[in-house]
Chains A and B, each alone.
Chain A
């Protein structure tokens, strides 16, 4: 922790200077049209926890997101709210609002006391609604916006005969509002660019905060937006550095990797208990946590090289995981650091349960699914769908007496030319991980035959899983995939054609920064491209003038 804050201080002291001095400056981009991203489940929960406290329960079901070109964050910009989804939002809103005003919380959460507890008190209601409206909408509410919920709280208080019960209805109205549930970009004419537009300070603050913390802006960031500080280069850099130095950065980095690595799929992960008795939902939960801990340790605490996550032997263990990894874990409860010995096949996140178990079938491993995951998730490549009319004349049965191992079965399968094209792209990668069964446990044999985990990826030979990790480590595609995914995640959109030069530039910066994630986050968070908006809609333009 100490080492990190020192590093960040250095970063903040020299950051601005370094930006200007180092290499070519940021290429200009036109930006994208304003958008409205639906809050993700994690963002909704974090908002409630930040604003009202972690003991306020959020009881309800969230609509599943849409993964667009690999990222849920990009899908959040195109997803709507179904009737069933809104029903749930409304039910959660009522549940949250009633907790805020209950006996336990009203003292601390409601900033004023009503003159008469059994009656409406518009002044006090307005004060409370203004306070929480600003935090929920991530900007101050205007008089019209405040009038609605205030009147609502008044009517309800008079009907029920209780100020607090009435206030809950006003609060529920804020929580049901699209201004809370969607992060809508607001734009204004750009004073520095005649005829162009920019994000308002509050929209800028929101974008930054959800990027770095996966949370709404805190009071200090809202203050910097209110004062306009965030619209200046120095003011923005100051906020970015403050946020990068905060322990809350970890939650933001985790949120990115949960999205990037498809960890939402853990929710539906199941294994056949007869085939994989070691698997349990506890193991699955710990497997996800293990990888997130490995990543945040390497990339934030140690400020290490991103590529090392594919080779590192350092990780963290629980008793549950120890059983699958066949590793002795001293702590009965909780986590402890662990380092696999040199020469062990466990090296890097590809060999962790979160990868091998997530990209397998419920009853067996899958070289095809794993190879596909490496290509699509880690290298951002697109593997075509299988052809519809597949000829499965070559039998792939795991108890086939002739083809005992997955390699033999898949090799047989690849004799079919219509399948060969794509399977050649994915299987040789996945076969490198065949030493890990469908539940992620290490094995030397499959059906009594030794497993050959050698192969090649785009011409680079590897002889086992650890070497496969090294090959990914050295693959420039893994680096550009991360850089581009971080930007797309942050911006909630895909790249625009006009951003080609910028893509090249940011990748170069990442390399120059030693592949350090915090440095990349800083580059993006302080870049112009991240906030650039283009307004083509004439009516919007006119409305803004």
Chain B
């Protein structure tokens, strides 16, 4: 940890004599010329996350006409106007099933996130976030953080495999407690004293890890792999404790947030928007405070169960049963939910962009992979499921571009994200969706 001090020690050295305690603004002289790393050479971390909304959009009201830079904003995309330059839009990319059935609201998710589809809901390959987390997520307190603004822990699409799913935090208060509760160490705290109890806790876990060989010994191959995941989880907690025993490197953008109020959770859209916003703010600080580099936010579940007060139908039901208004040319109520989803996406991206980090923003050091489960939900279309990627990924991604390659496998979008995040894969996906072609237009 020889890079962990420099600036603060230096400052303390400079100011200590005067006896002044100061809150330290981030001084740009401590950055390198590009603003992507501290002058000490330690780069600002690059983070990756996914953001999901259910039940797609209306293609004619969502897909920009113009391809490339300076794309136009049709009515459903106008909500992202303020952050358009930070967002890439991908339209027309296709989930290819190779003869497997299109499981409504499921196949598209599997294709997009894991690069392959199964004949039943079964994530037989890890999802994007898990692949990225294995590469970048090993040196933070949490390998990843999962959140669902719907209040349902099952609303998570982060899988290591079919039987190992990362459950979601479902309320701002539980998210806060998990990140900023008693085990949190402020990386910018002046003094650091490793808690001797953390050593003991680590020994407890080492003792559990030592049972591995004996416990796995009598099991069959499948159970062995499954129980091995348990031991991997144990080791991961050990690593977390290890990190907490070391003085954390300062995180200039980290400001410990206040504890949110304990508010009800549920699927009513106003409640969801509110909880989503609070969770986005907490997440932004979790990222800025180096607690995690990987996240998954579910604004609404696939086959969205969001509802409006007084409405008999949930959003999903509306997409199927609400008539298309002849004058408008779309389903007004279902479309209301699409527009709220885009508003929430804009809130999410803006929240990351509002945090100053280095000489840019937290968003500049993120890649957020936003997507839905269908294109036009009414017919469960999975040709052209909307995807957006936001953030500069630490200078590795160009933004403000609309890409449309109708009929190309949708795995190309995910593969591009994997390449940008430095996951060492030369191809990704199965069958007709296997690809080794990244979308280089957005790669810096």
Contact = CB atoms under 8 A, between A and B. Distances in A.
Interface of A: 33-36, 61, 63-64, 66, 78-87, 90, 94, 145, 148-149, 152, 155-156, 159-160, 169, 172-173, 176-179, 181-182, 184, 186-187, 268, 270, 272-275, 361-364, 385-386, 388-390, 392, 395-398, 438, 536-537, 540, 543-544
Interface in B264-279: 266-268
Contacts of A90: 201, 205, 237
Given A152-B207, A362-B267, A385-B101, A66 B163 contact: yes
A409 to B, nearest CB: 9
A388 B380 contact: yes
B235 to A, nearest CB: 9
Nearest to B199: A159
Contact of A274 (B107, B207, B266, B309): B309
Given A36-B223, A86-B234, A273-B309, 16 more contacts: A61-B153, A80-B230, A82-B167, A83-B143, A83-B237, A85-B233, A86-B236, A152-B207, A173-B208, A176-B204, A186-B218, A361-B312, A363-B311, A386-B104, A392-B320, A536-B220
6 contacts: A80-B163, A148-B210, A160-B197, A268-B154, A361-B312, A396-B321
Given A82-B165, A159-B200, A364 B226 contact: no
Contacts of A177: 208, 211
Contacts of B143: 83
Contacts of A169: 200-201, 203-204
B166 A176 contact: no
B312 A363 contact: yes
A139 B359 CA distance: 60
A451 B317 CA distance: 22
A159 B164 contact: no
A321 to B, nearest CB: 22
B163 A78 contact: yes
A211 to B, nearest CB: 20
B147 to A, nearest CB: 11
A85 B227 CA distance: 13
B307 A272 contact: yes
A86 B233 contact: yes
**What are the 6 tightest A-B residue pairs by CB atom distance, in nearest-first order?**
A363-B312, A388-B102, A86-B233, A274-B310, A80-B164, A388-B380
A540 B197 CA distance: 39
B219 A184 contact: yes
Given A34-B218, A176-B204, A178-B211, A385 B104 contact: yes
Contacts, number: 193
A45 B106 CA distance: 33
A413 to B, nearest CB: 9
Nearest to A33: B220
B118 interface: no
A64 B207 contact: no
Nearest to A66: B163
A362 B237 CA distance: 39
A363 B307 contact: yes
Nearest to A539: B217
Contacts of A272: 268, 307, 309-312
B230 A152 contact: no
A83 B312 CA distance: 39
Contacts of A149: 207
A173 B307 contact: no
Nearest to A170: B204
B312 A398 contact: yes
A33 B224 CA distance: 13
A363 B314 contact: yes
A34 B220 contact: yes
B322 A397 contact: yes
A63 B167 contact: yes
A389 B266 CA distance: 30
B237 A87 contact: yes
Given A178-B227, A389-B379, A84 B203 contact: no
B146 interface: yes
Q: Which residue, A84, A272, A398, has most C-beta atoms of chain B within 10 A?
A: A84
Interface in B62-95: none
Nearest to A399: B312
A395 B217 contact: no
Interface string B185-200: 0000000000011011
B32 interface: no
Given A82-B160, A272-B311, A543 B217 contact: yes
Contact of B146 (A66, A84, A275, A362): A84
Nearest to A68: B163
A398 B312 CA distance: 8
Nearest to B266: A270
B204 A268 contact: no
Given A34-B219, A83-B233, A397 B207 contact: no
A182 B215 CA distance: 10
A41 to B, nearest CB: 12
B379 A364 contact: no
B207 A388 contact: no
B378 interface: yes
A519 to B, nearest CB: 33
Nearest to B141: A87
B303 to A, nearest CB: 11
Given A64-B167, A85-B233, A179 B211 contact: yes
B204 A172 contact: yes
Contacts of B378: 390, 392
A270 B305 CA distance: 11
A84 B174 CA distance: 13
A40 to B, nearest CB: 15
B245 interface: no
Contacts of A389: 102, 379-381
A268 B220 contact: no
A268 B146 contact: no
B103 interface: yes
B166 to A, nearest CB: 5
A361 B313 contact: yes
Contacts of A388: 101-104, 107, 379-380, 382
B151 interface: yes
B120 to A, nearest CB: 9
B200 A81 contact: no
B236 A83 contact: yes
Contacts of B221: 537
B229 interface: yes
Q: Which residue, A156, A173, A272, A543, has most C-beta atoms of chain B within 10 A?
A: A272
A383 to B, nearest CB: 14
Given A187-B218, A363-B313, A537-B220, A152 B167 contact: no
A182 B230 CA distance: 10
B431 interface: no
A86 B237 contact: yes
B152 interface: yes
A36 B237 contact: no
Contacts of B231: 178
Nearest to A177: B208
B215 A178 contact: yes
Given A86-B234, A159-B196, A388-B104, A184 B312 contact: no
Contact of B380 (A362, A390, A395): A390
Contact of A397 (B201, B240, B323): B323
Given A80-B226, A274-B310, A397-B323, A85 B205 contact: no
Contacts of A386: 104
B260 to A, nearest CB: 17
